[in-house]
């Protein structure tokens, strides 16, 4: 039975939407691969320094692949986790990016892939401290044109007004990785307020080691948008 006009229109829409999303995923995956390459280059550089300089011999350093969409770079007492989401997103109508001429000229440019960048303490993973916190320090949006912008800390952020001409290339990946590492290295672990840790239950003491049950984080009570460091 031949399709009527409405069915044909729907099929064409589905095909076009699928092609758009596949292009976005392709560009996001390419951006993620560049970040992985830059992480490997930086890892190799630090490894060389570790071998050549006595003062760097005890530096904790590792690069771990966790499949096609995740990798971890651990250095000193910190871990950066890069994670590519497998889905495609569109911004809400109220988002500032939707008001830019770049998006108004072609609404399909608002569909983006997403890469999250998290910071964890190395010891949180080493000692399996499941109550410890990690922080989202940035997220990268990549669209069908291979253009991108970053929401995150001031050191990482690339505001949405640059979206129309900022191409995610090797230099962008290198700059982003270095900025994430610099921010992480300067984002220090602070002593939690005394009143927040002055009490502990007998169960915490008896159930393995107490420090595995006590939450540790660089900022206890940290709210990403409110942090003005």
pLDDT digits (tens, 9 = 90+) for 70-86: 999 999 999 999 999 99
Domain boundaries, given as residue ranges, for the chain: 5-189
| Long-range contacts of 71-78, Cβ-Cβ distance < 8 Å, separation of 24 or more | 71/36, 71/39, 73/39, 73/42, 73/43, 73/181, 74/122, 74/125, 75/46, 75/181, 76/122, 76/185, 77/121, 77/122, 77/123, 77/189, 78/119, 78/120, 78/121, 78/122, 78/184, 78/185
Q: Tell me the pLDDT tens digit for each residue of 56-74.
A: 778 889 999 999 999 999 9
- Statement: the pTM of the whole predicted model exceeds 0.75: yes
Question: In angstroms, how far is CA 150 from the centroid of its own chain?
Answer: 10
CA separation for the pair 211, 223 (Å, rounded): 23
Q: What is the pLDDT of residue 220?
A: 39
For residue 54, pLDDT over 90 is answered with no
The encoded tokens of residue 117 equal 């960048």
Mean pLDDT (whole number) for 21-46: 97
Query: Around Cβ 168, how many Cβ atoms within 10 Å?
Result: 26
């Amino acid at each position: 039975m031949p399709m009527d006009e409405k069915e044909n229109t729907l099929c064409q829409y589905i095909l076009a939407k699928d092609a758009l999303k596949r292009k976005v995923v392709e560009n996001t995956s390419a951006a993620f691969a560049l970040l992985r390459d830059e992480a490997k280059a930086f890892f190799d550089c630090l490894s060389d320094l570790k071998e050549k300089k006595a003062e760097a011999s005890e530096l904790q350093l590792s690069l771990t692949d966790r499949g096609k969409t995740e990798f971890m770079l651990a250095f000193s007492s910190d871990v950066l986790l890069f994670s590519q989401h497998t889905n495609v997103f569109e911004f809400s109508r109220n988002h500032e990016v939707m008001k830019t001429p770049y998006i108004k000229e072609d609404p399909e440019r608002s569909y983006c892939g997403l890469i999250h960048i998290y910071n964890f303490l190395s010891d949180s993973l080493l000692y399996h401290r499941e109550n410890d916190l990690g922080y989202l320090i940035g997220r990268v949006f990549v669209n069908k044109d291979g253009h991108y912008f970053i929401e995150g800390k001031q050191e990482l952020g690339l505001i949405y007004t640059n979206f129309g001409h900022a191409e995610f290339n090797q230099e962008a990946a290198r700059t982003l990785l270095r900025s994430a590492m610099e921010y992480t290295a300067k984002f220090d672990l602070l002593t939690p307020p005394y009143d927040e840790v002055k009490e502990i239950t007998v169960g915490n003491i008896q159930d393995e080691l107490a420090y595995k049950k006590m939450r540790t984080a660089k900022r206890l009570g940290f709210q990403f948008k409110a942090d003005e460091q």
